[in-house]
Amino acid sequence: MQVHRIHQFLQTKMADEEPVDPKQYLEDTCKPKCVRPLRAYQACVKRIKGDETGHKHCTGQYFDYWKCIDECVALKLFDKLK
């Protein structure tokens, strides 16, 4: 069902004169599937909020979140590319 909606979206947007990059739409549809890494990132940000040294960071959690989204998007995006 989800793939059908994506296909409809792409067909509608591609019918316009200006081509539309479907990646942003696909990212938005994948974000609900990546709640666990997002919560881990948010918890890290909250945990280090008071750090004034600059040594603590949440880079790993941030990249885990975007890796989850990218993997989800890749499954759908590469089927639609020409």
Is pTM beyond 0.95? Reply is no
Is the CB of residue 30 less than 8 Å from the CB of residue 58? no
Domain locations along the chain:
19-80
pLDDT digits (tens, 9 = 90+) for 20-64: 788 899 999 999 999 999 999 999 999 999 888 878 899 999 999
What is the chain's percent helix, strand, coil content, to nearest 5? 75, 0, 25
pLDDT of 76 reads 87
pLDDT digits (tens, 9 = 90+) for 8-19: 666 655 555 677
Domain at 19-80: CATH code: 1.10.287.20
